[in-house]
Amino acid sequence: MIPFNKPYMTGRELAYIAQAHGNGHLSGDGPFTKRCHAWLEARTGAKKALLTHSCTAALEMAALLLDIEPGDEVIMPSFTFVSTANAFVLRGATVVFVDVRRDTLNIDESLIEAAITSRTRAICVVHYAGVSCEMDAILKIGAAHDLPVVEDAAQGIMSTYRGAPLGTIGELGAFSFHETKNIISGEGGALLCRDATYAERAEIIREKGTNRSKFFRGQVDKYSWVDAGSSYLPGEITAAFLAGQMDDAVAITQRRLALWDRYHTHFESAETQGTLRRPVVPAHCEHNAHMYYLLLPDLEARTSFIARMKALSVQTVFHYIPLHGAPAGLKYGRCGSGMSVTEDISDRLVRLPLWVGLEEHIDQVLEACDRSLSV
């Protein structure tokens, strides 16, 4: 069976883990964590980057930093992973879902303004498949209504919007290093602070509400409990693994892009014939080949495609079950727009395998796709 995902190891991870072991510093914020922070800040231009144990944790930190409270509302797409919503629901907020664009499947910026009420406190966008949302328009809406913009850039490392790295365009951004993402550490993530506004408090919230980081920099002579916080930092072993991945981030992205291009070229004729629709990447969005998906005619076509692919030994998957109709979505959220695009595409989308090392199987995958589509 050709799996849908296979975590890629660069070959450096174990040597770095051995080094972390040798350093004798195993808790968070040791030399490897600092190295990852420096890499992220240099790569993205963020004022501050902080490793977390997941993107979920980074989003929870964002909700704390924005002082989200019961009764507040946060606008987001329904076509996303549950963590986007949970981060704000855990603070007592109501999540307000807005439909996505037909082309990129990202939040439809033209529907955001109508979903804003006197209770709205933030806009949380999701860069689906590592392709940017329309950030100019979204930042403009944020500025007009005094609403911070959070980027769930879980899928967006190494992608840009008009040249700007994803995760650093809104006030706060969150990356994921989960093993299903492009750059991995098993579980892992990072919070990015675009400017100084949230940087200092982010350090405190991440370190159990203490000013421990300042203490270690010699900026205060003792550390104490100064804010509400939790423990969001990963240990050094995780950071060492991640550092091994970061060294090869450019090569990893290039190899993924080459596979993505193979798919895209291959399915051009099927799209022209109207049998499927391929992903859309606007010219001003540089993507990272996080995902290759197809939109099939309907749910029935998708169900049989997945079954046929399985019979041909290729694993394919679908997502997301729209949040607005899920049990917790009904309890904690409401719709701020119609949901026709979300409901339509979530029934028809199928994801194809895309991982570094798939090169030697890609011909077999493409052949299986052709056979599964033509029945």
Where on the chain is the footprint of ligand PLP (CB under 6 A)? 54-56, 80-81, 83-84, 126, 152, 154-155, 176, 178, 189
Whole-number minimum distance, CB 18 to ligand PLP, in Å? Answer: 25
Whole-number minimum distance, CB 179 to ligand PLP, in Å? Answer: 9
Whole-number minimum distance, CB 115 to ligand PLP, in Å? Answer: 19
Q: How far is CA 188 from CA 131, 141, 192, 238, in A?
A: 21, 31, 14, 8
Going by DSSP bridges, is the β-strand pair 149-152/333-335 parallel, antiparallel, or unpaired?
Answer: unpaired
The three-point CA angle 7-11-16 to 5° equals: 105
DSSP letters for 331-373: HHEEESS--HHHHHHHHHEEEEP--TTGGGGHHHHHHHHHHHH
Task: State the DSSP H helix or E strand holding residue 22, giving kind and residue range, or none if neither.
Answer: helix 13-23
Pull the structure tokens for residue 92.
Answer: 């007592």
Pull the structure tokens for residue 323.
Answer: 């949040």
Do 175 and 157 touch, CB atoms closer than 8 A?
yes
Of the two residues 301 and 341, which places its CB atom closer to ligand PLP in the complex? 341
CA distance 98 to 15: 46
Of the two residues 83 and 253, which places its CB atom closer to ligand PLP in the complex? 83
Of the two residues 49 and 301, which places its CB atom closer to ligand PLP in the complex? 49
Of the two residues 76 and 111, which places its CB atom closer to ligand PLP in the complex? 76
Whole-number minimum distance, CB 185 to ligand PLP, in Å? Answer: 9
Whole-number minimum distance, CB 187 to ligand PLP, in Å? Answer: 6
Q: Which strands, in side-by-side order, build the sheet including 160-161? A: 164-165, 160-161, 285-286
Of the two residues 308 and 322, which places its CB atom closer to ligand PLP in the complex? 322
Whole-number minimum distance, CB 80 to ligand PLP, in Å? Answer: 5
Of the two residues 176 and 372, which places its CB atom closer to ligand PLP in the complex? 176
Whole-number minimum distance, CB 252 to ligand PLP, in Å? Answer: 17
CA distance 358 to 41: 30
Of the two residues 63 and 301, which places its CB atom closer to ligand PLP in the complex? 63
Do 149 and 171 touch, CB atoms closer than 8 A?
yes
